[in-house]
């Protein structure tokens, strides 16, 4: 697989992750993971012997595609991770959901708990000691045939956050096989990491990257 590169220098690699590929290798994966594919790309491009460093500083769920940033040095990885902790990054997603929200713009706040055994996330009460606060805002871009295209600004980065918060309000993402009972098994989830704004770990320059959602993920796709 030839990765689509949006930006590359000595410190960063910004790429478009395809749907359906894990960011990092795990015991259950039978296919290549994205990190390994990118390491192979760097190794061949620069004719590097041995192992290539490529730090993962954030993740996208395996079914989800879109813009991702990787660190090419340990110093860059550390600084980017600190930016995330300080909430410097700005992340926007596009999602097609089944249903039409009552409000064109709104904020969703919940407390989420993850079941590690089943890899599922649930909305919980604030009093649950395992619950983590989750917040996002959205705006409606257009609706058609009972489906809606949303632009989502993610304010916290919880596991499966967008998928769970929307589904819990009767707005499951199209083709989300985990949280949408009407999802089709042969189609990609209609959730896309559309844009990402970061601070360069060395120059401190503001960098903004974006990639449009694939055309096949239209409102009538299903």
List, by residue number, the catalytic residues: 61
d(CA 37, CA 148): 34
In the numeric block, which tokens belong to residue 73? 């040095």
Q: What is the DSSP string of 65-110?
A: EEEEEEESSHHHHHHHHHHHHTT--EEEEEEEEES--SSSEEEEEE
Percent of residues in the chain assigned helix, strand, coil, to nearest 5: 15, 35, 50
d(CA 146, CA 84): 36
Task: Note whether 68 and 14 are within 8 A (CB).
Answer: yes
Task: Note whether 136 and 162 are within 8 A (CB).
Answer: yes
């Amino acid at each position: 697989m030839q990765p689509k590169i949006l930006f590359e220098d000595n410190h960063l690699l910004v790429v478009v992750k395809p749907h359906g590929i894990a960011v990092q290798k795990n015991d259950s994966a039978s296919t290549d993971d994205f990190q390994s594919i990118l390491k192979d790309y760097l190794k061949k491009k620069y004719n590097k012997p041995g192992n290539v460093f490529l730090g993962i500083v954030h993740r996208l769920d395996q079914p989800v595609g879109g813009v991702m940033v990787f660190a090419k040095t340990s110093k860059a990885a550390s600084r980017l991770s600190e930016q995330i902790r300080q909430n410097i990054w700005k992340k926007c997603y596009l999602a097609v959901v089944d249903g039409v929200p009552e409000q064109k713009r709104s904020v969703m706040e919940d407390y989420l708990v993850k079941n590690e055994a089943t890899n599922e996330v649930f909305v919980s009460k604030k009093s649950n000691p395992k619950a983590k606060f989750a917040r996002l805002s959205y705006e409606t871009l257009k609706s058609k045939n009972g489906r809606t295209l949303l632009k989502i600004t993610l304010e916290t980065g919880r596991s499966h956050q967008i998928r769970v918060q929307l589904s819990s309000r009767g707005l499951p993402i199209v083709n989300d096989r985990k949280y949408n009972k009407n999802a089709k098994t042969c189609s990609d989830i209609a959730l896309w990491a559309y844009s990402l704004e970061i601070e360069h770990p060395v120059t401190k320059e503001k960098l903004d990257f974006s990639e449009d959602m694939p055309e096949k993920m239209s409102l009538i796709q299903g």
